[in-house]
Amino acid sequence: MFDLVLKGGRILDPGSGVDRVADIAFADGKVAAIGDNLSAQARTSRDAAGHVVVPGLVDFHAHVWWGGTYLSVEAERVAKASGTTTFVDAGSAGAGTWHGFRRFVIDTSALRIKAFLNISHPGIYGYGPGFMIGEAADLALLRPETCLKVALSDRERIIGIKVRLGSNVSGHLGLAPLDLAIEVAEAAELPVMVHLGPPPPSRRDILERLRPGDVLTHCCKSFPSALTDRRGLVREEAEEARRRGILFDVGHGRSSFGFDAAKAMVEQDWLPDIISSDVHVQSIDGPAFDVLVTMSKVLCLGVSLPEVVRRATVAPAAFLGVPGLGTLAVGAPGDAVVIEERAGSYDYVDFRGTVFRGDKRLYPQAIVVKGALWP
């Protein structure tokens, strides 16, 4: 007997190579079967005909330390709007605030939440309406010893070390915050996620320091941090970093996605490895909204649906160490989303308000968390 069957949808699971119309069944919180006519054995069933069933979305760059940082939003609100079932918080908390994030948000959520721990002791503490105090601009706040101690104390939830770099975040410290983050990451055997802000430091200096498996987020930024040059060509330092195994993440946010740069990258078939929203208090009502809207933008730029879905499921899930996560393989965590690909005319905006008219948009029709319809 199955707990739930989604009937007759297009099962699209890039992680296991499945793309066909079928039923999918869930039992005991996991994916139990994919096949035909499974609903006769289901306690609950739901029609998914005409829609696409994909693994629960993994938003690799979000800020969900709601209540603990001004910056953050409620994971549940974003999840309902987008079908995100796993959030990776990108450094909202540092070692000094981790325990509260863990107890009051991560451990009480119906959703799966993992995190990059900020190298800065308080995390992203100084982000407010119309102002920002860079958490990486003062050496006194960068505490490798406590960051390492906390990272080692919670290997289940902490999947990497976050550092934000840029003139408005790391100020005159240049690459020093990155060096400290890498020190901790090496000792903890974790990847680093680097926020690319306006220089200094330069994108070349940052990329040259990153190690295989590290992540550069905000990869579709426009001038002056764009990975593409004035002619729209991907810069040599980005090519070189990709060859060395550095990963590129969208992290849309408020000011980190320009259609000019994103279009140029797509035209060269130089796609981000991961599509994420960087949803926070100043991007949740646009221009980013959530990972599903960000996926819709990339889809409208000309990337195929399977390649878009891959970048918000199995690709980010590879960092999380949860067997089967980000796929619909039998035995995988029972997280899925039924998506409607609606044709029409949709105006999308980027960080500077440029409008790009797309011909489709993805909407969540049903969300499955731990094998049951949610909420």
Contacts to Zn ion by CB under 5 A? 90, 278
Question: Which residues in 77-87 are b (16+ Cβ under 10 Å) and which e?
Answer: ebbebbbbbbb
Q: How many CB atoms lie within 10 A of CB 318?
A: 16
In the β-sheet with 247-249, what is the strand arrangement from edge to edge? 57-62, 84-94, 112-118, 158-165, 192-196, 215-217, 247-249
Q: Is 17 or 130 the residue whose CB approaches Zn ion more closely?
A: 130
Q: Is 116 or 374 the residue whose CB approaches Zn ion more closely?
A: 116
Distance CA 330, CA 85 (A): 18
Q: Least distance to Zn ion from the beta carbon of 61, Å?
A: 6
By beta carbon distance, the residue nearest Zn ion is: 278
Q: Least distance to Zn ion from the beta carbon of 251, Å?
A: 6
Q: Is 90 or 362 the residue whose CB approaches Zn ion more closely?
A: 90
Q: Least distance to Zn ion from the beta carbon of 56, Å?
A: 21
Interacting residues of 294 by C-beta distance below 8 A, sequence separation 6+: 250, 252, 257, 275, 276, 277, 288
Q: Least distance to Zn ion from the beta carbon of 278, Å?
A: 4
Beta strand residue intervals within 95-157, DSSP E:
112-118, 126-128, 131-133
Q: Is 30 or 203 the residue whose CB approaches Zn ion more closely?
A: 203
Distance CA 264, CA 266 (A): 5
Q: Is 90 or 275 the residue whose CB approaches Zn ion more closely?
A: 90
Q: Least distance to Zn ion from the beta carbon of 74, Å?
A: 16
Per-residue tokens: 242: 């990709």
How many CA atoms within 13 Å lie on the side-chain side of 96?
A: 13
Q: Least distance to Zn ion from the beta carbon of 126, Å?
A: 14
Q: Least distance to Zn ion from the beta carbon of 131, Å?
A: 17
Q: Which of 34, 4, 30 is nearest to 18 (CA)?
A: 34
Per-residue tokens: 252: 């849309």
Distance CA 118, CA 122 (A): 8
Q: Least distance to Zn ion from the beta carbon of 90, Å?
A: 5
Widest pairwise Cα distance in the chain: 65
